[in-house]
Structure 1
Amino acid sequence: MTHARDPVSPPVALTIAGSDAGGGAGVQADLKAMTAHGVFGTAVVTATTAQNTRGIEDVHAVPADHVASQYEAVVEDFDVGAVKTGMLATAPIVETAADLLARLSAPVVVDPVMVAATGDRLLSPAAEDAYEGLIEGATLVTPNADEAAVLFGEPVETPADAEAAGRELVARGAEAALIKGGHLDEGGETVVDTLVVGDAKGSGGAGDAGDELGDCDDPTVVRFENPRVATDATHGSGCALSSAIAARLARGDPLREAVARAVDEMESAIRRGYDVGEGPGAVNPTAFGGDR
């Protein structure tokens, strides 16, 4: 006896990021977070990395023209509802991503992977500079404090600094900026994430960010506070968070709601993290999407 096929048609999201051999971050974490939200994840791999829970041993960047070929293969076949970018590795890849995404009407979440957990810079100055073009077309930029400092050009150590950095990123063209607070006041019991939303009028694709908060020349600032989890096992947290937001945008959630729900679920993803490998461990992307 045969069974009739009973397919589902989920929203589609795309990650443009590096591969983590250890599975805790990068494309692997992105796809897990998207699946947890009931979203079909597609992927453009920008680099392969030899890494695990203890750190990165080697990185091999993919040629920029192959990044473009992967992207075209996806968008020619799938109705992509949202995109997130992660590790872009080189200036040509950053520039290629910016050029390709400028032609896409779907929301774009830019996670600027620039600084390692050790504090080491991961990109050349040319690659850091190339992010300006990507930021201009972003629906949301999601740097941590260290990455915000690189983009802002000033130290980001307090929520007030985070707000200033977010305002600057919005002034440079991003519709919104989420400055993640995990590295702020690391001894405190509360994590404060700062969302700055600018005037999204006429933005297309993600204009509901401005519609929900009210179109305005002066950015709107929203702070999210959550208990800090006492652990160093935060590998993949930035990847999972930006992917969760992108997945929610692909599902049609307004920007502020997508950010608020993903930030709230981040605490659970860390608290219920994976205790694998000999390093601190990794976050659990499947803890996202609890409302679907």
Structure 2
Amino acid sequence: MKNVLSIQSHVVFGHAGNSAAVFPMRRLGVNAWPLNTVQFSNHTQYGHWTGSAIDPGQLVELVDGIGAIGVLPRCDAVLSGYLGAPDQAQAVIDIVRAVKSVNRNAWYFCDPVMGTATGCRVEPGIQEFLVSRMPEVADAMAPNHSELQRLVGRKLETVDEALAACRELMKRGPKIVLVKHLLDRNSPADRFNMLVVSEHEAWVGQRPLYPFARQPVGVGDVTSAVFVARMMLGDSLRAAFEHTLAAVNAVVKATWDAGRYELELVAAQDQIARPREWFDAWAPDAA
């Protein structure tokens, strides 16, 4: 069985960070080892939360503890997401190096959570570190549209522009770039777009965009988790991408149907593993 060390936030109530990512990976048959970067009462888009970031030294110490009992070589991938402080970013790099020193085949999948002015809050300095350092370290990255723009330093408006940006980013290190939410001025307003790019492939996919009054948080965390799990299970790039699109749609649709704000992960668990509705991906013209 594959094992993924998941370094992300934890919320006591709701689904964000590891509280959104661990369950889908386990439901798909992949062991998830959660290492929490923060412990919050709830995610930050409620506007009020309590809790604090974990000391970066403790993150490294906890992984050292895994190594001390001899199981770190069984770690097949590291997935990082929300970071609570800039020093945690360096700790993640140190952890990735420690894992790769005992398992040279392990992958590092970076979800570069940078936050927004009106939504997800991240501490100053984290975005700068993610932009300047993480592409050289990561084997794969999963930015959303805004994060991809910040990684390449320019505005992107079409699939072709995003594809070119992914290729540019890959020259700095990542072998795969998954754009979890792609804005395309040519796409219908009621569709949610995703893009995945590797050296020899590129695939675009769409699912319905549900008209929530406020979009649920944690969708990107579920997206990264499902994609990493499917890749660990041996799927092709296209198959992992299509399963991710379908599984995330099932979760979001269940949330919409229930009239909820927090993701209905448990209600949609069977469809995370075996989605009933599938969305075929296609190769963009510029691939």
Summarize the Cα distance change of 1:167–1:283 in structure 2 as closer, same or farther, 3 Å threshold. farther
Distance, in Å, in 1 between the alignment partners of 2:189 and 2:52 is: 37
Q: What residue in structure 2 maps to residue 84 of structure 1?
A: 79
Distance 1:239 1:181 in 2: 12
Match of 2:38 in 1: 47
SS at match of 1:181: strand
SS in 1 for 2:76: strand
Once the two structures are superposed, the pairs formed by residues 151-230 of structure 1 within 5 Å of their partners are 151-181=151-181, 188-198=189-199, 213=200, 220-230=201-211
Query: Structure 1 vs Structure 2: percent identity of aligned residues?
Result: 22
On the 8 A contact 2:5/2:78 being kept in 1, the answer is yes
User: What's the offset of the Cα at 1:108?
Assistant: 2.0
d(CA) in 1 for partners of 2:160, 2:33: 36
Structure 1 match to 2:26: 35
Unaligned regions of 5+ residues in structure 1, if any? 1-9, 199-212, 214-219
The whole-number CA distance in structure 2 between the counterparts of 1:139 and 1:166 is 13
Runs (4+) of structure 1 exceeding 4 A deviation are: 182-187
**In the aligned structure 2, how far is the partner of 1:183 from the partner of 1:48?**
31
Q: How does 1:99-178 map to 2 (within 5 A)?
A: 99-103=94-98, 104=100, 105-116=105-116, 118-119=118-119, 122-124=122-124, 126-131=125-130, 132-178=132-178
Whole-Å Cα distance in 1 between the matches of residues 256 and 17 of structure 2? 15
1:58/1:147 Cα in 2 relative to 1: closer, same or farther (>3 Å)? farther
* Structure-2 change in CA distance of 1:183 and 1:54 (3 Å): farther
Q: Once the two structures are superposed, what CA deviation does each residue of 1:178-224 show, in whole Å capped at 9, x if it has no partner?
A: 112365559712222121212xxxxxxxxxxxxxx4xxxxxx43212
Q: Shift of the alpha carbon at 1:84? A: 1.1
1:262 aligns with 2:244: yes
Aligned position for 1:249: 231
Task: State the TM-score, normalized to the length of structure 2.
Answer: 0.79
In structure 2, relative to structure 1, the CA distance for the partners of 1:57 and 1:165 (3 Å cut) is: farther
* 2:278 paired residue number: none
Residues 182, 195 of structure 2: 8 Å contact kept: no
TM (norm. structure 1) is 0.78
Q: Is the 8 A contact 1:54 1:280 kept in 2?
A: no
Do the aligned partners of 2:80 and 2:111 also contact (CA within 8 Å) in 1?
yes
Give the unaligned 5+ runs of structure 2.
276-287
Q: CA RMSD in A?
A: 2.8
The higher relative CO (CA closer than 8 Å, separation ≥ 6) is in 1
Letter in 2 for 1:64: P
Does the 8 Å contact 1:91/1:130 carry over to 2?
A: yes
Contact 1:16/1:84 (CA < 8 Å) preserved in 2? yes
Query: The residue matched to 1:249 in structure 2 has which SS?
Result: helix
Change (3 A) 1:248 1:230: same
Give the SS at the match of 2:167.
helix
The Cα shift of 1:74 comes to 3.5
Q: Using a 3 Å threshold, how does the CA distance of structure 1 residues 19 and 274 change in structure 2: closer, same or farther?
A: farther
CA contact (8 A) 1:159 1:181 kept: no
Partners of 2:262 and 2:182 in 1: how far apart? 16
- Report the 3-state secondary structure (helix = DSSP H, G, I; strand = E; otherwise coil) of the residue aligned with 1:115: coil
**1:288 counterpart residue number:** 272
Which residue is equivalent to 2:284? none
2:183–2:193 Cα contact (<8 Å) kept: no
CA apart distance, 1:143:
0.9
Cα distance change of structure 1 residues 50 and 88 upon mapping to structure 2, 3 Å threshold: same
